[in-house]
Amino acid sequence: MHHVHDPQTRQTIVRLLSSMGSAKEITQYLKRFSQLDAARFAVVKVGGAVLRDDLEALASSLAFLQDVGLTPIVVHGAGPQLDEELGAAGIEKQTVNGLRVTSPEALAVVRRVFHAQNLRLVEALHGSDARATSIVSGVFEAEYLDRETYGLVGEVKRVNLAPIQASLQAGSIPVIASLGETAGGQILNVNADFAANELVQVLQPYKIVFLTGTGGLLDADGRVIDSINLSTEYEHLCAQPWINGGMRVKLQQIKDLLDGLPSASSVSITRPAELAKELFTHKGSGTLVRR
Ligand code: X2W
């Protein structure tokens, strides 16, 4: 293990240990994880709302992973920031099937906001004494999803791992914005969940983590569901009257994602401050989804 000197990281460890009661457990997980291919440990998707509301906890949790030799690969969105900045620019919001219709005027704002949010996260990571590399292009090769309907929105066709591998080889956390580009060099707006899913299919990581404000999938009473075993519970869950459309879509996406991965892979949905607890304890913190 690396020597841990950053006070924020130390704080995370103290919080983690006190919440677990046993250092044995964390050691077991660390050992297991250290036997995996370090370049494919985890893909972490960070929503724009987390960047807005929980940047400090996010940076220290990701820095902690790097400190224990498990450099995560981070893909981020910027949904709420885009709503705000596009609104300020007088561009009205229009979505189709949850995707933002993106005009040329909107794309200029989208690019600026993605770059700014990417840099904000990278700087926060540096502030937590982590190494992090800003990647805002060159990863997601895309084509127009449907130009008539969505405008300058992309569908990922190929993932170029070279910039990610270069960052990992330097021991630096790749921080990737979900912007795509066509073979002809046109930048396109890509939904961050879709971008993360494409990256996951190519990298086949051991852990896939979605960091959200809610800290997991919620049951009828608004409590975080501990774990979901898709092979036995999927149909049952989808048939529940309290499951809303958004959550059904999310579950379907996770199922599709896991279907393309080795059976040991799993998806965790949690909040930044609970990330280490989710990864290094039996009990976990958010929702763990297995196949
Ligand atoms: C998204 C990209 C940002 C995103 C958008 O414009 O909002 C499309 O809809 P979150 O915060 O992860 O939702 N792109 C095409 O996905 O951000």
What does the pLDDT look like over 20-44, one tens digit per residue?
A: 557 778 888 888 888 888 788 999 9
Ligand 1 atom closest to residue 194's alpha carbon, by position in its atom list: 16
pLDDT of residue 3: 45
Please state the atom number of ligand 1 nearest to the C-alpha of residue 178: 2
Q: How far away, in angstroms, is 154 Cα from ligand 1 center? A: 11
Reduced to 3 states (helix: H, G, I; strand: E, B; else coil), residue 227 is strand
Angle between helix axes 104-127 and 79-88 (nearest 10 degrees) is 130
Protein residue closest via CA to atom 6 of ligand 1: 100
- The structure tokens listed for 119 are 């840099």
Compute the distance from residue 191 Cα to the ligand 1 centre, in Å: 4
Question: Is the shortest distance between the CB of 156 and ligand 1 below 6 Å?
Answer: no
Whether 48 lines ligand 1, by a CB cut-off of 6 Å, is yes
| Residue 74 near residue 176 (C-beta atoms within 8 A) | yes
Q: Is 216 in the pocket of ligand 1 (CB under 6 A)?
A: no
CB of 153 closer than 6 angstroms to any ligand 1 atom: yes
Query: What is the distance between the alpha carbons of residues 236 and 239, in angstroms, rounded to a whole number?
Result: 5
Nearest to 208 by CA among 197, 219, 216: 197
Do residues 155 and 194 touch, judged by C-beta distance below 8 A? yes
CA distances from 96 to 245, 250, 290 (A): 15, 17, 30
Specify burial of residue 241 (Cβ count, 10 A radius: 0-12, 13-18, 19+). Answer: exposed
Eight-state DSSP code of residue 205: -
Which residue from 82, 83, 103, 175 has its CB within 8 A of the most atoms of ligand 1, so it is best to mutate? 82
- Backbone dihedral angles phi then psi of residue 208, each to the nearest 5 degrees: -120, 125
Q: Amino acid letter at 268?
A: S
Place of tokens 């993605």: 114
288 lines ligand 1 (CB under 6 A): no
242-285 pLDDT tens trace: 887 777 888 888 999 999 998 888 999 999 999 988 998 888 89
Q: Which of 53, 97, 100 to mutate to test the pocket of ligand 1 (most atoms within 8 A of CB)?
A: 100
Three-state secondary structure along 8-64?
HHHHHHHHHHHHHCCHHHHHHHHHHHHCCCHHHCEEEEECHHHHHHCHHHHHHHHHH
Amino acid at 285: S
pLDDT at 10: 56
User: What pLDDT score does 267 carry?
Assistant: 95
Q: Determine the pLDDT at residue 6.
A: 56
Predicted local confidence at residue 141, as pLDDT: 98
pLDDT digits (tens, 9 = 90+) for 121-133: 999 999 999 999 9
How many Cα atoms occupy the beta-carbon half-sphere of 159 within 13 Å?
19
Whether 144 and 103 have beta carbons less than 8 Å apart is answered as no
Q: Report pTM.
A: 0.91
Could you tell me what percent of the chain has a pLDDT over 90? 69
Scanning the chain, the segments in alpha helix (DSSP H) are 7-20, 23-34, 48-53, 55-67, 79-88, 104-127, 147-150, 162-169, 192-203, 230-238, 245-259, 275-280
For ligand 1, whether the C-beta of 200 sits within 6 Å is: no
Residue 221 CA to residue 242 CA, distance in Å, equals 9
Q: Please give the distance, rounded to the nearest whole angstrom, from the Cα atom of residue 78 to the centre of ligand 1.
A: 6
Point out the ligand 1 atom lying closest to the alpha carbon of residue 195. 16
Ligand 1 in reach of 103 Cβ (< 6 A): no
Within 13 Å and on the Cβ side, how many CA atoms surround 3?
1
Query: Residue 14: what pLDDT?
Result: 58
Q: Report d(CA 29, CA 22) in Å as an integer.
A: 12
> Measuring from atom 1 of ligand 1, which residue has the nearest CA?
191
